[in-house]
Amino acid sequence: MIRLESISKQNGQQIVFIEASAALQRGEKIGLVGPNGAGKTTLFRMITGQEMPDEGQVAVDRGVTIGYFSQDVGDMEGRSAVTEVMDGAGPVSVLAAEMAELEAAMADPDRADEMDEIITRYGEVQGRFDELDGYALDGRAREVLDGLGFSQEMMDGDVGKLSGGWKMRVALAKILLMRPDAMLLDEPSNHLDLESLIWLENFLKGYDGTILMTSHDREFMNRIVGKIIEIDAGSLTSYSGGYTFYQEQRKLAEVQQQAQFERQQAMLAKEIAFIERFKARASHAAQVQSRVKKLDKIDKVEPPKRQQTVRFEFKPAPRSGEDVATLKNVHKSYGARTIYEGLDFQVRRRERWCVMGVNGAGKSTLLKLIAGASEPDDGTVARGPSVRMGYFAQHAMEVIDGEHTVLQALEHEFPQAGQAPLRALAGCFGFTGDDVEKKCRVLSGGEKARLVMAIMLFDPPNFLVLDEPTNHLDIATKEMLIDALSRYEGAMLFVSHDRHFLAALSNRVLELTPDGIHAYGGGYTEYVERTGQEAPGLRS
């Protein structure tokens, strides 16, 4: 259905693709993977015709409709979320607009002589509109927005007043409602809470068109895709199976290629040694020439391309007392809205609590109360005397000095550390080579999040309070963070929509529901087994 045929592409000095080929068949669900900057967005833009390859061609079968969701959503001011989403419904919205024009024409006495043609055309358009279930369009738009977490009030409100994250959801809803033949989804799982993420996962599993998607959420990708296309060093390689299967196959292929490379290198060394030893002897001239010709014809095996992986080693956190944080009879309201009424909760040493609840349940409020970023209306919040806390929240990114480079920001926090360990720290969090010289004001949201995380973990506290720490982190950085935190010996309290992160790190679950607050011994995996649901408030 969509074919990439020997494409080559260069952006400035960077060679993105070199004679790369791949195919997307009808109904396939494909994950697109590769390191940051490998060319995933460039590939999307070439498929949609926004960019052209320097060589080769992108072929799309005639009549195939493509919907492209990108992180650049643009301005959507002045219209309701429902209207904006319906406008993206492709042929249906076009037909709806034509029907409105024809209805106006039928009521226009000046066009009476055209009435037969207008009525005939109206019948054709109405029939097609009905075929595409156009009369249910408003209801379907609201159903998609509801699945992505919108209240009725937000659906009918001005999109321009929404935050960037909610505008992203509107842009995503437009593509989902459109139901094109092929969806190109660039990080659709960003900005979603766990409940919306699971709804989207089920929607995409039931979608019968072609999907090509990127995602930093490995569990999300695993449950949807049945094929992986990897971008690596300018080439495209296809793997059958989900993300975990791809990882296993890639490792296996690397081992096999390394063994083949080493065998060939040993053979070449032996042949070259023979040539060097006997090249000056006339009696061996024929053998030497034969072996030289043999070497000239050999296809050289390249060593495997190794993706750079990093590991972050924690310094030991100082030991805290047994009681890390205690809330007694806490009341908290925002205006007329009550969040907590008599909350009792305690975090003890080495406990790792994940906090779960639907939007507005008070997850971030609980973290702010414990971190001291918010005060209770009544009751007490106390931390143990030997507790040293690290708090990761989105606003923490706003206090970085924009004129500092990444390295200067680290040096400012740790003036005694020296450049070598700070450069190693930056590398662990994705700032390699010249990236450490970037000014903080030009960093993306994800890069700022990584920098704040690096600062917080270099000299670790014994109590980590983390509000969505994995937002914008790519899979490799996320794996590094999970690996590091799994060896961390302090207490943790965190909110995350990443199920792999939840399952790997939690050993307690605090569930906030309208019916009350429930604590579960055991981590997220045990919570799912006991409740039969992956998130509170999931609609059946």
Tell me the per-residue pLDDT of 278-337, one tens digit each, with 9 for 90 and over: 888 877 888 888 888 888 888 877 776 665 556 777 788 888 999 999 999 999 999 888
Q: What angle do CA 7, 12, 17 make, to 5 degrees?
A: 20
Helix orientation angle between 285-297 and 243-278, rounded to the nearest 10 degrees = 160
DSSP string of 74-130?
---TTSBHHHHHHHTSTHHHHHHHHHHHHHHHHT-GGGGGGHHHHHHHHHHHHHHHH
Q: What is the pLDDT of residue 90?
A: 64
* pLDDT tens-digit map of 379-402: 999 999 999 999 998 777 777 888
Q: What is the pLDDT of residue 86?
A: 83
All residues at 6 or more sequence positions from 326 whose CB lies less than 8 Å from its CB, including other chains = 345, 346, 347, 380, 381, 382, 383
Max avg pLDDT among 43-52, 357-366, 440-449: 43-52
Q: Could you tell me which of 61, 67, 62 has the C-alpha nearest to residue 178? A: 67
Residue 214: the pLDDT is 94
Residue 356's pLDDT band (boundaries 50, 70, 90)?
A: very high
Please tell me the predicted confidence (pLDDT) of residue 255: 85
Alpha-carbon span 265 to 251, nearest angstrom: 21
Q: Which residues contact 89 (CB under 8 A, 6 or more apart)?
A: 137, 141, 174, 177, 178
pLDDT for 540 beyond 50: no
CA distance 414 to 121: 73
Residue 148 has pLDDT above 60, yes or no: yes
Integer CA distances (angstroms), 482 to 353, 468, 503, in order: 15, 13, 10
Contact yes or no for 457/450 (Cβ under 8 A): no
Mean pLDDT of 368-383: 95
CB 198 within 8 A of CB 187: no
The answer on pLDDT for 141 being more than 80 is: yes
Could you tell me the pLDDT band of residue 345, with boundaries at 50, 70 and 90?
very high
Identify the CA nearest to 85 among candidates 147, 38, 32: 147
How many CB atoms neighbour CB 152 within 10 A?
A: 11
Question: Phi-psi region for residue 371, left (φ > 0), alpha (ψ -120 to 50) or beta?
Answer: alpha
